[in-house]
Chains A and B, each alone.
Chain A
Amino acid sequence: MLRVKAGDVDRMGLLFERYHRKLFGFLYHMLGRADTSEDLVQTVFYRMLKYRHTYTADGEFRTWMYHLARNVLADHIKKNRHSTHHADVADFAEKIGGGTQADESLQREQEVATLHQALSHLSAENREVLILSRFQELKYGEIARVLNTTEGAVKVRVHRAMNELKTIYLRIEN
């Protein structure tokens, strides 16, 4: 990223190849819509180019990327307050959740779908920390830097989110 900052804009391609899946995953879990998430991936990379001078060498690139992604997400949500979220997830969960097969793999699939559904019921704040720590595999310290808070606060929030998720999950399953 430092080379991009120094004007070697072509290097951005490398960063795109390395990180766009993760970024897409983050946005997808936050929004539940694949098409919108793709648009936002594009927006995040555009902002990286535009605001590359704000990148400092001491921060990790991933942290900076999620920081920008959160801003893009917040802008998007502000703009589309009235549209429905998690449409894909709900459809997905309904389709699979309707089955009654005892087949083990299907049962597993159903569990996953239920959890996915549970995840979409979490508050955005709690969902965010879970996604960052479970899917993006960020350490508490890194998450703290993304969210501008302390490591202790992140730890507490992840625990709370996990408990909430567990409760929702069990409620849906029964």
Chain B
Amino acid sequence: MDMNCEQAQQELLDYLSKELPAEEQTRVEAHLAHCAGCQEELQALRQVWHTLGAVPVPEPSENLRPAFYSMLAAYKEEEAAKPTFSLTGIWEKMQAWLVPGSALRLAYGLGLLVMGLVAGYWLNSSPKAVAPATADQQQLAALTSQVEQMRQVMLLSLIENPSATERLRAVSYTKELSGANDRVVDALLSTLNHDENVNVRLATLEALAQLAHEPNVRLGLVKALKNQDSPLVQSALADVMVQLQERRSVQPLRRLLNQPGLNKAVKSKIEESLKNLSNGRPAAPSTTEPYHETDYTPQPADPAGTAV
């Protein structure tokens, strides 16, 4: 099938630069063979195309190469000065911003500030009114409960934080809570059982011990006994059990005692605790040094809470 002039001229450039598939190439040639007009066109095109190829490009000057290498060296220095510059570095920074931590704390602080201002305004603006006295109190009660709720939210968010310091802070919020709801208790118990940092677990245990008047907390603590592998937490938990005179803990403590590879100091500690529990004696704060930290601490017991 022959092509017409229009089709052929569209292909002429590709014909020149040999971009055409073989089949098209022959078709263009077949057309050119009997079309003087297109031959002329091809000739003109060829002249321009080839001349275009001959248009000279000056050599870049001598300065370009040294300039490039000094730029490269400068860039490397700059890079070395801030090694955090990388895609992962930026990502981590963004995560630190997005994930709880500073943003949440900021929101918490702002929330408290606003509430303080509102409360202050309320107290100041209506001192003369007689009736508002009770209204004020109601308002204050409402505000207090809101602060309480915010603390709970803070605690629940921070306790998931990858930084141990943040988790410790989360646990410390329980001290400011008058009572803990189920979600908070669940979160604390889960931290006690699963957190990888010993300091965080110890702080959580302390916080939970203060909430031990709640039956579900007591039960959770008894159950937590079997989950602990750190001697520090085992000992502390045994202490709490004695303090609470929690008789349900006798079974799990005995089982713990039979565990192979149990730390010696912990063993004697538990034996003592069991004796106390069966005697029904109120707990005496342990005066002796039942264990020595450096002997077996699996992780550094840094009170500041090393970030894990």
Residues of A within 8 A of B (CB): 9-10, 12-13, 16, 20-21, 24-25, 28-29, 34-35, 37-38, 41-42, 45-46, 49-50, 53, 108, 111-112, 115-116, 119, 130, 133-135, 139-140, 155, 158-159, 162, 165-166, 169-170
Contacts and interface: CB of A to CB of B under 8 A. Distances in A.
B24 interface: no
Interface string B251-282: 00000000000000000000000000000000
Contact of A12 (B47, B52, B56, B72): B72
A34 B64 CA distance: 11
B72 A134 contact: no
B60 A165 contact: no
Contacts, number: 97
B75 interface: yes
B72 A159 contact: no
Interface in B64-106: 64-65, 67-69, 71-72, 75-76, 79, 86-87
B57 A49 contact: no
B13 A45 contact: no
A119 B52 contact: yes
Contact of A159 (B10, B55, B60): B10
A153 B234 CA distance: 74
Contact of B44 (A25, A45, A133, A166): A166
A49 B71 CA distance: 10
Contacts of A112: 51, 54-56
Interface residues of B, number: 34
A81 B248 CA distance: 85
A169 to B, nearest CB: 6
22 contacts: A9-B75, A10-B76, A13-B72, A16-B72, A24-B64, A35-B61, A42-B64, A42-B71, A45-B68, A50-B75, A53-B87, A111-B47, A115-B55, A116-B55, A134-B49, A135-B55, A135-B57, A155-B14, A159-B13, A162-B45, A165-B52, A166-B44
A25 B60 CA distance: 9
Contacts of B72: 9-10, 12-13, 16, 45, 49
A28 B57 contact: yes
B120 interface: no
A157 B59 CA distance: 29
B63 A38 contact: yes
A34 B55 contact: no
A135 B65 CA distance: 22
Contacts of B58: 28, 34
B301 interface: no
Nearest to A9: B76
A25 B55 CA distance: 11
Nearest to A28: B57
B53 interface: yes
B17 interface: yes
B270 to A, nearest CB: 53
Contacts of B63: 38
A42 B13 contact: no
